[in-house]
């Protein structure tokens, strides 16, 4: 797949941005940036986020705030856009369901589905959760004692004229598609959940809501040709993924590579949405291009200090709280934490301060940050801040006759009565192969949407370099430079290998930490060339490697160590 289209859910414009929203958007951002780097061509990736604005709640909140629903939506959509900008989201577009470019498309889609008969008029009676704006099945209502599982408020019985979507017609096709495409619903635990529900049988679903004299019911897209009904907000919202690229110059991005969502909205995305797409495609030759997305990925939830986040407890990690962390520890550290410690694979993840500090210190301050500082300090001290000559192939193995850089380093250690760590004697370090392995795996992990596994290759490269440094002790070798003419080239080979490996690590880290890595690239004079694919950029000592003789500034440490005793940061005003 040469083009890559990734989406986030579009967020209810009534909420204040919080960690749930920022998480999905940051993870999608890391994926989008990684894919741009893999391709070396930004224009092949399209990343869409936005806001879902036609919920009834928008009307009530707007009234409470004495503004029109549109003004309320404008104001809050701007908040989301600002929040995602502050998280350094590199979205290509921000779609709002109140924009005519979206509404006009939805009307076209519904018109086509009305014509083909997959949307038809009927009557619906059911249990309605007013807070969630959704009907609950009879069974689910009974199990929950006719109360909302979300708000706890009583469900209400409603009968209304409405339009249905023939979901039942697509039961077989859906089931077959999901069974034949294991990546379609990911991770696999989610696939089992969805298949179970589909196999149990699908009923047609209501996709409209009546328009009455209540202003809250007048907000939304009217069913084409029927002003007494409007399109249900969920159907309206799902179509954003298509309307967002339904323009001649963008249509090639469809089908989406990944719809990243939270587990709570899996049913809409993994059952209703693909069935709608199948129906739309079948409705007219004009929609021949409307294929099914490649992956619907349902992540788990963040909890906070061990407790479920809920509106009633008021313990949501707000966007402002995240920015408090960003101010103190850097935005990139927050992005790294979200991307590596988040609930992507399914189990919920805890946003606990102690865990943030532990991750930050281990992986960033003492990991990548410390390792880059050590190496640039040595290059500064022993080579005047200039990348040393690399007269070596990156294969550091002890030689039978001795004399290789690793032998010289070990001999220097022995002479200084500073022996190599126990058991490490005779160890070989294969830089080109190790680097190629991590790059390849990081790309594969990204393709499988395993964000933390992919980023752990950064930490593994850092560990490899740290091991190499403690094995060879280049600072000990440096002390012998006056007495031994072979010591300097050996030291050069060792430090070049370390710096070059870290350059590659910085590439793999950059989708999560674009700002910090750009600082490193500026200091090290190694910003990746535009238009070059990752495998080329990341080749050890390849065409895009560090160049001997180039200036390498030691710069500020990338991440200052965090004091675990310090109180958690406050919300940033």
Applying CB under 6 A, the residues found at the interface with ligand MSP are 9-12, 15, 20-21, 23-24, 52, 237-238, 240, 261-262, 264-265, 301-302, 309
Could you give the CA distance from residue 276 to residue 481 in angstroms, rounded to a whole number? Answer: 72
Residue 52, Ramachandran bin (φ over 0: left; ψ between -120 and 50: alpha; else beta): beta
CB of 243 to ligand MSP, least distance (A): 11
Q: Which is nearer to ligand MSP, 9 or 369 (CB)?
A: 9
Give the phi and the psi of residue 499 in degrees, each rounded to 5: -65, -40
Q: How many CB atoms neighbour CB 148 within 10 A? A: 19
Residue 301 vs 449, nearer CB to ligand MSP: 301
CB of 220 to ligand MSP, least distance (A): 13
Count of Cβ atoms closer than 10 Å to residue 180 Cβ: 8
Nearest distance from residue 239's CB to ligand MSP, in Å?
Answer: 8
**Residue number with the smallest Cβ distance to ligand MSP:** 262
Q: How far is the CB of 264 from ligand MSP (least distance, A)?
A: 5
H or E element at residue 26: helix 19-39
For ligand MSP, the closer of residues 97 and 506 by Cβ is: 97
Helix (H) or strand (E) segment spanning residue 135: strand 134-136
Least spacing, CB of residue 277 vs ligand MSP, in Å? 13
| Residue 432 to residue 545: CA distance in whole angstroms | 12
Q: Which of 343, 317, 361, 337 is nearest to 569 (CA)?
A: 317
CA distance 117 to 144: 34
Minimum Å gap between C-beta 19 and ligand MSP is: 6
The minimum distance between CB 21 and ligand MSP, in angstroms, equals 5
| Strand order, beta sheet including 349-351 | 307-308, 302-304, 349-351
DSSP secondary structure string, 466-489? HHHHHHH-HHHHHTTTTT-TTHHH
Nearest to 397, CA basis, from 432, 352, 366: 432
- 273 vs 431, beta carbon nearer ligand MSP: 273
Nearer to ligand MSP, 276 or 512 (CB): 276
Nearer to ligand MSP, 22 or 478 (CB): 22
In whole angstroms, how close is the CB of 369 to ligand MSP at the nearest point? Answer: 28
- Fill in the DSSP letter of residue 319: H
| Dihedral angle computed from the Cα positions of residues 81, 85, 86 and 90, in that order, rounded to the nearest 10 degrees | 140
Of 11 and 72, the one with the shorter C-beta distance to ligand MSP is 11
167 vs 277: CA distance, rounded Å: 11
Question: Which is nearer to ligand MSP, 165 or 302 (by Cβ)?
Answer: 302
């Amino acid at each position: 797949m040469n083009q890559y289209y990734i989406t986030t859910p579009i967020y209810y414009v009534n909420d204040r941005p919080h960690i749930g929203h920022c998480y999905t958007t940051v993870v999608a951002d890391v994926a989008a940036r990684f894919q741009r780097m893999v391709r070396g061509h930004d224009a092949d990736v399209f990343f869409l986020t936005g806001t879902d604005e036609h919920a009834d709640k928008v009307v009530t909140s707007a009234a409470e705030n004495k503004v029109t629903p549109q003004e309320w939506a404008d104001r809050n959509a701007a908040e989301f856009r600002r929040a995602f900008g502050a998280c350094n989201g590199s979205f290509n577009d921000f779609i709002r369901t109140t924009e005519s470019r979206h509404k006009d498309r939805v009307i076209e889609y519904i018109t086509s589905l009305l014509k083909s008969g997959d949307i038809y008029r009927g009557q619906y009676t059911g249990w309605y959760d007013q807070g969630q704006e959704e009907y609950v099945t009879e069974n689910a209502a009974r199990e929950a004692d006719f109360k909302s599982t979300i708000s706890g408020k009583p469900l209400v019985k409603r009968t209304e004229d409405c339009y249905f979507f023939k979901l039942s017609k697509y039961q077989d096709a859906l089931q077959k598609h999901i069974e034949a495409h294991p990546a379609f619903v990911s991770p696999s635990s989610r696939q089992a959940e969805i298949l179970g529900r589909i196999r149990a049988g699908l009923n047609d679903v209501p996709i409209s809501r009546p328009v009455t004299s209540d202003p809250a019911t007048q907000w939304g897209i009217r069913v084409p040709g029927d002003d007494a009904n409007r399109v249900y907000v969920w159907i309206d919202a799902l179509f954003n993924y298509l309307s967002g690229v339904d323009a001649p110059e963008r249509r090639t991005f469809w089908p989406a590579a990944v719809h990243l969502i939270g587990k709570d909205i899996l049913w809409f995305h993994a059952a209703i949405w693909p069935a709608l797409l199948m129906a739309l495609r079948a409705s007219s030759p004009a929609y021949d291009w409307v294929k099914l997305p490649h992956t619907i990925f349902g992540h788990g939830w963040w909890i906070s200090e061990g407790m479920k986040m809920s509106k009633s407890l008021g313990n949501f990690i707000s966007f402002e709280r995240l920015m408090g962390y960003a101010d103190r520890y850097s935005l990139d550290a927050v992005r790294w934490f979200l991307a590596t410690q988040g609930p992507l694979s399914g189990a919920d993840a805890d946003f606990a301060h102690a865990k943030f500090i532990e991750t930050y210190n281990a992986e960033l301050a003492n990991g990548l940050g410390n390792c880059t500082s050590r190496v640039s300090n040595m290059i500064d001290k022993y080579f005047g801040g200039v990348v040393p000559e690399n007269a070596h192939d990156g294969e550091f193995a002890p030689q039978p006759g001795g004399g290789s850089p690793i032998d010289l380093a070990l001999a220097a250690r022995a002479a200084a009565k500073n022996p190599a760590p126990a058991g490490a004697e005779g160890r070989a370090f294969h830089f080109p192969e190790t680097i190629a392995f991590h790059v390849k795996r990081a790309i594969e992990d990204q393709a499988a949407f395993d964000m933390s596994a992919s980023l752990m290759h950064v930490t593994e490269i850092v560990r490899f370099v740290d091991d190499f440094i403690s094995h060879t002790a280049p600072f000990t070798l440096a002390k012998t430079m006056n007495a031994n003419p072979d010591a300097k080239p050996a030291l050069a080979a060792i430090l070049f290998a370390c710096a070059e490996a870290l350059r590659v690590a910085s590439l793999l880290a950059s989708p999560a930490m674009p700002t910090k890595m750009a600082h490193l690239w500026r200091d090290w004079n190694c910003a990746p060339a535009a238009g070059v694919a990752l495998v080329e950029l990341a080749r050890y000592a390849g065409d895009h490697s560090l160049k001997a003789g180039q200036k390498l500034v030691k710069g500020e440490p990338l991440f200052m160590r965090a004091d675990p005793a310090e109180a958690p940061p406050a919300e940033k005003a």
